[in-house]
Amino acid sequence: MTYPTLDAYLGSPDPSSGPVAIILAEDRTAIARTLEHHARLGFGLILVIGPGGVLEGDAEGVVHIEEQIGDRDFAVGLLNRLIDRFAGRWVYWCFNAEFLYFPFMETRGIRDFTGFLEEERRDAVFSYVVDLYAGDLDRYPDGVSLDAAYFDGSGYYAFDRYRDGEALDRQFDVFGGLAWRFEQFVPWERRRIDRIALFRATEGLRIAPDLTLNEPEMNTVSCPWHHNATIAVASFRVAKSLKRNPGSMFEIDSFLWRRSLPFRWHSEQLLEEGIIEPGQWF
C-alpha cells in the first residue's frame, strides 16, 4: 500500500503487529535486497519512506510513504513523528542499502530476539554501523557491490561519552570504518558509527540529531550487571557518499586495505570478529 504523505499514513488505521522496520530510501540502490533481507527476519511491518518510484510494484507487508528523504536531520524528524504511533512495539530503522545483523539471526527471527530483550528488561540495543564497500571501484564506481562486498576487520575504537564535562555511565562514542580511514572527507559530527537502531517505542521518546535517544538508559551498551546483546547495521551508505561527493570521488581509487575482509553476509562472521556479541543469549 502507498500513501502520498506521512500525514496521510498517520491518519490511517494500522492493522499490523509485532516489530516494525522503517527503511529510509534515499535512492533505489539495493532497495530490493534491503526489503528481502528484512522481510526474511520476520518484521510485522516494513515501512519504506522515499520518493515515488523507489519501489517496483507492491510487496506483502510493505507500506510505502512517498516522502523525499532530505538530509539526516530531516530523516530524524520523520522518524520522530512515527515513534508515538508505534508505542509499545519494537522499531528498527535504517537507510536503503543497510542490513540488520543480530546474533544467530539465520535460525532465529526478530520476534525471538526482541522477546529475549524484554526478558532482560532492555528497551534498546546498542548498534554498530559496519561499512560495506566494493573491492573493485573500476567495476563498481558507486562503491556498492552486493556480490563482492568487503568490510574492515579492525580499526574500531571507542571513547567514553561526555556531557557537561562528566562521563556518561555505560555510553560510548564509537569510530572506525571508512569514515575513520577517509576522515578528511567526512565532517567530525558524521564520523561516529554507533546508533540505537532497534528500540521499543514509547510516547515522547525522540531521536536527537546525533542519533542518541532522549532516554539516557536506552543509549547504554549494556545493563549494570552483565553484558547484553549488541547488533550491527551493515551499510553501503558511506561508500556511496564518498564515491558520489565531488570532493572525494576522484581522490579515492580503492577502499581496500590490509585489514579488508570479504563480507560473508552471516552473523557468525560479525560474532567471530567481535563486532557484535550475544550477551546472555545462546
Burial class of 258 by CB neighbour count within 10 A (0 to 12, 13 to 18, 19+): exposed
Cell of 201: 517505542
Spatial contact of 198 and 127, defined as CB atoms under 8 Å apart = yes
- The answer to which of 11-20, 47-56, 78-87, 172-181 has the lowest mean pLDDT is 47-56
Question: In this structure, are residues 46 and 23 in contact, taking their beta carbons and an 8 Å threshold?
Answer: yes
pLDDT tens figures, 195-245: 999 999 999 999 999 999 999 999 999 999 999 999 999 999 999 999 999
Q: The whole model's pTM is what?
A: 0.95
Tens digit of pLDDT for each residue in 145-158? Answer: 999 999 999 999 99
Q: Around Cβ 282, how many Cβ atoms within 10 Å?
A: 6
Alpha helices in the chain (DSSP H): 6-10, 31-40, 72-83, 110-119, 178-181, 237-244, 267-272
**Contact between 211 and 196 (Cβ < 8 Å):** yes
Using alpha carbons, select from 182, 191, 190 the residue that is nearest to residue 248.
182
